[in-house]
């Protein structure tokens, strides 16, 4: 698969660059500044993007360019810090800007290859303290703003382009057109589609698995369910799919998932382990402790079932997981990434159950998995469900997890979800959830005094979950939902709405 390699210099927008390129049906992958030219070529790169970054190119520890990149003939698009680095490496000069630019700016003029065909006012999103003061030999200035004389530069002969602003963000409305022109100039095919992804994944699985069987643990979410459909297409009945009902799913969700997947041809083994998971969670309050306890219990249940299935089918060599690209990044699977949370995958199985791991979705974002699910025939009401954490409602039930508290949370969550659908707001939000807090407060219901629970509602808009903004749901809608929850869930007498973005918060409360 040909690719565009994005070198990450620390910008908060690096992953957004990758998403924008994939939206244009081009496979892109993030690599660290330490990447070698040999590694870039091994990724079958047809172009390279240098991301922005928070540092200065003159800092003593400033990351540089891979040796030999600029002489490789690969087209390069350098953004913000990347443009300054490109200029410095080729003999130009970078200086602190007399006037720093942060936020909206308007190009006073623009021309050149990347701007070809663009007309009208060009609004650009700036975020820089340094600027290119003197161009390297062979470059021309192709865009300026009132405060930045060199807002864009290019060397057409070497197919090198620099943008001081960020074309990947929504605040640069015509920025995607620049990315399209760069891809066109680089001659990159737009073949990163759901059908192509499926065909490649199916071929890869068949080649690797051969005539062996594959074991898959299905949690009930979109990722593992979609993976089940993909593997079923690839190897048919040699897929051994186990659906472990942890008792931590939403109201009626376990039954809905089982019915839908069986209807699509999967031969599911269903294990009801809800009481076991509740025992594992008894007394736990810390969210990371909950995640680890759930992971441990899942491994134990899964291992027991795997042994049973191996007695039936013989040795099962492979284990499949629905790991996604954000999982890899957040679990420190990428260079320089910090561990934000533990992810709910089937790792740490006993030595006598040593499997070879298969992760066909490892390089996909959530919305790409949904596109794959659509192509595989998953019904819309299942594939368009909001993301749901592997540990389920346990991390939305703050404080101790008990059967009674889970039931309160399920009913409150069901009111919120059903109301979002009723008002046509479900598909306008990327993720929505209810949280049962450990807070109790005084209320008045009828003529009586109550002392009951507080439920927090959260809804966000996002592209891939790496960043998110709180959803501006109508006040009338929130008032309706609050009334419905309080009136139908007697254990709750107060409802609040979370208006925190990510960052600084996470989407889940935990």
Which residues are the active-site residues?
80, 166, 168
Spatial separation of the C-alpha atoms in residues 362 and 358, rounded to whole Å = 9
Spatial separation of the C-alpha atoms in residues 440 and 226, rounded to whole Å = 40
Measured in whole angstroms, the distance separating CA 435 from the mean position of its chain's CA atoms is 21
At residue 466, the 3 state secondary structure works out as coil
At residue 6, the 3 state secondary structure works out as strand
Measured in whole angstroms, the distance separating CA 250 from the mean position of its chain's CA atoms is 22
410 burial class (0-12, 13-18, 19+ CB within 10 angstroms)? buried
Strands in 268-272's sheet, in edge-to-edge order, are: 268-272, 239-245, 214-218, 318-320, 356-358
Spatial separation of the C-alpha atoms in residues 3 and 262, rounded to whole Å = 36
DSSP state of 25: T
Instruction: Evaluate whether 114 touches 178 at the Cβ level (below 8 Å).
Output: yes
Question: DSSP of 357-411, one letter per residue?
Answer: EE-TTTT--HHHHHHHHHHTT--HHHHTSPP--TTGGGGTB-S---HHHHHHHHH
The Cα-based distances of 458 to 69, 279, 462, 510 in angstroms read 45, 28, 13, 12
Spatial separation of the C-alpha atoms in residues 262 and 441, rounded to whole Å = 45
DSSP state of 70: G
Question: DSSP of 71-122, one letter per residue?
Answer: GS---EEEETHHHHHHHHHTT-EEEEEEEEEEEEEE-SEE-SSTTTT--S--
Instruction: Evaluate whether 228 touches 266 at the Cβ level (below 8 Å).
Output: yes
Instruction: Evaluate whether 360 touches 209 at the Cβ level (below 8 Å).
Output: no
Spatial separation of the C-alpha atoms in residues 79 and 118, rounded to whole Å = 19
């Amino acid at each position: 698969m040909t690719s565009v390699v994005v070198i990450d210099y620390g910008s908060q927008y690096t992953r957004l660059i990758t998403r924008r390129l994939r939206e244009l049906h081009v496979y892109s992958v993030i690599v660290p500044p330490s990447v070698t030219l040999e590694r870039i070529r091994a990724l079958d790169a047809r172009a390279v993007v240098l991301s922005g970054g928070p540092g200065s190119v003159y800092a003593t520890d400033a990351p540089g360019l891979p040796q030999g990149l600029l002489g490789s003939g690969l087209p390069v698009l350098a953004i913000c810090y990347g443009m300054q680095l490109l200029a410095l490496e080729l003999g130009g000069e970078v200086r602190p800007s007399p006037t720093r630019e942060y936020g909206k700016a308007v190009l006073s003029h623009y021309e050149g290859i990347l701007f070809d065909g663009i007309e009208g006012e060009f609004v650009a999103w700036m975020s820089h303290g340094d600027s290119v003061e003197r161009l390297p030999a062979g470059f021309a200035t192709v865009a300026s703003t009132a405060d930045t004389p060199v807002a864009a530069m290019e060397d057409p002969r070497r197919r090198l382009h620099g943008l001081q602003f960020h074309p990947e963000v929504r605040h640069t409305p015509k920025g995607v057109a620049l990315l399209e022109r760069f891809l066109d100039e680089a001659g990159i095919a737009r073949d990163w589609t759901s059908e192509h992804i499926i065909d490649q994944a199916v071929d890869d699985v068949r080649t690797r698995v051969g005539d062996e069987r594959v074991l898959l643990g299905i949690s009930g979410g979109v990722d593992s369910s979609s993976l089940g459909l993909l593997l079923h297409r690839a190897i048919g009945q040699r897929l051994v799919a186990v659906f472990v009902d942890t008792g931590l799913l939403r109201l009626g969700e376990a039954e809905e998932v089982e019915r839908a997947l069986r209807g699509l041809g999967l031969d599911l083994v269903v294990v009801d382990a809800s009481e076991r998971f509740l025992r594992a969670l008894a007394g736990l309050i810390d969210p990371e402790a909950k995640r680890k306890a759930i992971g441990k219990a899942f491994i134990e249940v899964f291992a027991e079932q795997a042994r049973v299935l191996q007695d039936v089918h013989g040795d099962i060599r492979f284990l499949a997981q629905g790991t996604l690209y954000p999982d890899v990044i957040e679990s420190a699977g990428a260079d320089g990434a910090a561990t934000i949370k533990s992810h709910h995958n089937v790792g740490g199985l006993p030595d006598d159950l040593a499997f070879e791991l298969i992760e066909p979705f490892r390089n996909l974002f959530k919305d790409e998995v949904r596109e794959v699910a659509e192509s595989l025939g998953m019904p819309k009401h299942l594939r368009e469900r909001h993301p749901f954490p592997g540990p389920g409602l346990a991390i939305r039930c703050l404080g101790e997890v008990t059967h009674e508290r889970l039931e309160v949370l399920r009913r409150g969550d069901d009111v919120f979800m059903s109301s979002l659908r009723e008002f046509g707001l479900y598909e306008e939000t990327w993720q929505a959830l209810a949280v049962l807090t450990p807070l109790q407060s005084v209320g008045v219901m009828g003529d009586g005094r109550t002392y009951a629970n507080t439920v927090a509602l959260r809804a966000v808009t996002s592209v891939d979950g790496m960043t998110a903004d709180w959803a501006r749901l109508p006040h009338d809608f929130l008032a309706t939902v609050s009334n419905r929850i309080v009136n139908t869930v007697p254990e709750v007498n107060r409802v609040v709405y979370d208006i925190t973005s990510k960052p600084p918060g996470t989407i889940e409360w935990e």
